[in-house]
Each structure stands twice: as C-alpha cells, then as structure tokens.
Amino acid sequence: MGTDLRGVTDADFDGEVLGAGRPVLVEFTADWCGPCRQLAPVLRSIADEERERLDVVVIDVDRNPETATRYGVLSMPTLMVFKDGEPVWSRVGARPKRRLLEELAEVI
C-alpha cells in the first residue's frame, strides 16, 4: 500500500505540525498499542487519498512525552487535527476508514 506515515518528534512538532500551512492529522501512538497497528493502514490510505488537502503524521508518545503531555493525551491512539497552529478536532480510538473520513470532513 502507499506511503509510510511521516513521524514527528517533540523537537520538530511545532515546525512540522503547528507551522504547517494546511491541516495536519496527528496520530499519537505507541509501539505496544494494538489498535494503533490496526489504524496504520487506514491512516496511510487517507494520507494518500487526501494528500492535496491534509498532511498525516504520527508521534510516538513513549519517545516524545512532552508533546503528548502538552495536549493531554492519555489513551492511544489519539487522533488530532491541527489547523493554523491549534487543535481543532480530537478523537480517541481506532475507527474504520469511512467513519474517520466522515468525521474529518468537518475540519478539512
């Protein structure tokens, strides 16, 4: 399947996500998270299909605790859309592609 999702870190989150010129969907994830692994192909597919309107990135909460703490992320996977440097949408848990696209339609 398509592209691998780009990873971001505490060090580059502000530049890559908050400074992006368009909406960014961030998955807060962890290696040990089973639902995160289930969600990965869905996110890769959305990243390919919506690449003109949306960036999709992942951040590992175990390796990047500062960003997870800043946004109050307690469960994995947590999905957030950032627009103009601000979180505008957030959901917790894996979901099917169709449902995720429906939910994202309100913010992208």
Q: What is the pTM of this model?
A: 0.96
Which one of the listed residues 26, 33, 43, 94 is annotated catalytic? Answer: 33
Is residue 33 annotated as part of the catalytic site, yes or no?
yes
Across-strand partners of 92?
A: 78
pLDDT > 70? residue 85: yes
Which one of the listed residues 26, 36, 57, 81 is annotated catalytic? Answer: 36
CA distances from 42 to 17, 72, 90, 105 (A): 20, 24, 17, 15
Q: What is the pLDDT of residues 23-49, one digit of tens each?
A: 999 999 999 999 999 999 999 999 999
Token duo for residue 105: 């339609």
Number of H helices, E strands in the chain: 4, 5
Indicate the fold that domain 6-104 takes in CATH.
Answer: Glutaredoxin (3.40.30)
Look at residue 1 in the predicted model and tell me its pLDDT.
40
Look at residue 12 in the predicted model and tell me its pLDDT.
98
Strands (E), 46-85: 55-60, 78-83
pLDDT > 90? residue 53: yes
Residue 4 banded pLDDT, cuts 50, 70, 90: confident
Is residue 106 annotated as part of the catalytic site, yes or no?
no
Q: What percent of the chain has pLDDT over 70?
A: 97
**Domain edges within the chain:** 6-104
| Residues 88, 107 contacting (CB under 8 angstroms) | yes
